[in-house]
Amino acid sequence: MDQITQDQAPNAARNQDAVRLSFMSPVSDSSPGRTRRGGPYRGWLDPVGRSRTPGSPSGCTFTCVSAKKTALTVLSAALLAPAVLMASASAPVRAAPTPPPAADGKGQLPKAPDAPAPPPSMSTVGGARLGQPGTQVNPLPGAPALPANLSGRSWIVADAETGEVLAAHNAHWRLPPASTLKMLFADTVLPGLPKDQVHHVTDQDMDGVGPGSSLVGVKEDHDYTVHDLWLGVFLRSGNDAVHVLSAMNGGIDKTVKDMQAHAEELQALDTHVVSPDGYDAPEQVSSAYDLTLIARSGLQKQDFREYCGTAEAKFPGRQEAGRPREYFEIQNTNRLMTGAGGIAPYKGIAGVKNGNTTMAGSTFTGAAQRGDKKLLVTVMNPDNGGLNGVYEETAQLFDWGFAAAGKVKPVGELVPPKSADATPLGSPATSHEKGRPAAGAEASGGGGLGTALGIAGGALALLAGGAFAVNRRWPHGRRGPGGGTDG
């Protein structure tokens, strides 16, 4: 099987043992840290340590990294670049002769293979327009034009509150999801595991972690809280953390079945789960529509919002008897949140999850707010822009969606879960910590289901104090699969 590169992790993540050791620097400062949620942070973090003092709460502590550290990292890279270029220029270049391409017998050069085409018809969950190939949009007078040169094979822009789909492109095309599937994993498993539960990792817990996986650095024979492991899942897209949490949930097979059942409950019927971490596997697929449904469900959970909206955190390192536990710093791989890779942080971004594998290309689902408008955008496998393309196209679609609010007719809707009608009106979202109601959960008027959708990050955290609640309504109308059939 070909080796797979996932989630734009550093090169150390290519080797499981290497990554577990490479970030584990000694710790020196035992003062409490603090969470940093979304904002203009750039660059990968250097390993820094913060020990946990005896009696302090279990779970990961957080810290802000100073602008000086970031500036020094950038300056060092700038100083080193000329030397690297000079060394490269001094080496002789011997280009091999390029053979002429074969002709087709009529003097014509062969054409490049065409990009795969979407199916002629797809699922109509959410509306008939969403089952049609190509771009679907209903502009009203004064509506802005969609961004030019979008290259994603599939994308969708939806209102996070009303569920209205403002525009879509091949919304139900079943494609490999990469680590965006971790949103379904979290939405399925997170409510059942108390965040302060401690787990001792065994060799068996780590069985089946695929070669080339993105890793956070979980090590056998070490203890981790559930809170630690979820930070590893959301920030570093750690397949090692996914496998440990799956073991705590009853094993990989049970977790896959649980995820599939939850997808069906959400009416995410394009989704077929094979591996809980999104690692490439035959027949493992989802769609831009499904991933957006899943993100919308996850964002109703307080802890899901916390994890996907955290920009950097501390993760437990080496554990030795008689010595304080070491910690190293991890940063979210969501470049629209951190500004890594030369991408400008998107104002108001709240997450949710990115992915990248050989089969899937780059995938991303994001949530953001501007004013009182909250949007969800999913982009799958853009052809342009390299690793940054998925973020650039997501940002363009966010900009369009905010500008187009009230100026387009919806082309479909995000359907509610099958059980939504049976749920009492105004039931709050809950935290997986002691079944506590989510902060700010409140009932919604107008016949909708009141839930909390706290979105924080970037400049929004400064305005809203890190989280806020909205009345999120299920779309009105039919409660079946969007009035259509799953194609």
- Taking 60 as the threshold, does the pLDDT of residue 352 lie above it? yes
Of the spans 44-58, 107-121, 296-310, which averages the highest pLDDT? 296-310
Give which of 371, 396, 411, 410 is closest to 146, Cα–Cα: 396
pLDDT above 70 covers a percentage of the chain that reads 63
Catalytic residue among 123, 154, 237, 297: 237
| Confidence at residue 221, expressed as pLDDT on a 0 to 100 scale | 96
DSSP 153-204: EEEEEEETTT-EEEEEESTT--B--GGGGHHHHHHHHGGGS-TT-EEE--TG
Question: Is-catalytic flag, 237?
Answer: yes
* Between 30 and 254, the higher pLDDT residue: 254
Structure tokens belonging to residue 27: 């710790």
455, 376 in Cβ contact below 8 A? no
- Taking 60 as the threshold, does the pLDDT of residue 71 lie above it? no
Q: What is the pLDDT of residues 178-201, one digit of tens each?
A: 999 999 999 999 999 999 999 999
| Confidence at residue 115, expressed as pLDDT on a 0 to 100 scale | 76
CATH H-level, domain 11-78+154-413: superfamily = DD-peptidase/beta-lactamase superfamily (3.40.710.10)
- Taking 70 as the threshold, does the pLDDT of residue 254 lie above it? yes
| Confidence at residue 421, expressed as pLDDT on a 0 to 100 scale | 62
Instruction: Give Cβ neighbours of residue 76 (< 8 Å, ≥ 6 apart).
Output: none
Catalytic residue among 182, 195, 314, 353: 182
Question: Is-catalytic flag, 182?
Answer: yes
Q: What is the pLDDT of residues 92-124, one digit of tens each?
A: 433 444 444 444 344 444 444 567 899 999 999
- Band of pLDDT at residue 30, cut at 50, 70 and 90: very low
| Confidence at residue 411, expressed as pLDDT on a 0 to 100 scale | 99
- Taking 60 as the threshold, does the pLDDT of residue 215 lie above it? yes
| Confidence at residue 93, expressed as pLDDT on a 0 to 100 scale | 37
Q: Mean pLDDT, the chain, as a whole number? A: 75
Which of 12-26, 89-103, 335-349 has the weakest average pLDDT? 12-26
Is cis: bond before 352, omega within 30 of 0? Answer: yes
Give which of 127, 123, 172, 122 is closest to 415, Cα–Cα: 127
- Taking 60 as the threshold, does the pLDDT of residue 131 lie above it? yes
Instruction: Give Cβ neighbours of residue 214 (< 8 Å, ≥ 6 apart).
Output: 6, 7, 9, 13, 179, 236, 237, 238, 239, 333
- Taking 70 as the threshold, does the pLDDT of residue 25 lie above it? no
pLDDT above 90 covers a percentage of the chain that reads 62
Catalytic residue among 123, 154, 179, 297: 179
Which of 63-72, 161-170, 204-213, 270-279 has the weakest average pLDDT? 63-72
- Taking 50 as the threshold, does the pLDDT of residue 277 lie above it? yes
- Taking 60 as the threshold, does the pLDDT of residue 52 lie above it? no
Question: Is-catalytic flag, 151?
Answer: no
- Taking 60 as the threshold, does the pLDDT of residue 459 lie above it? no
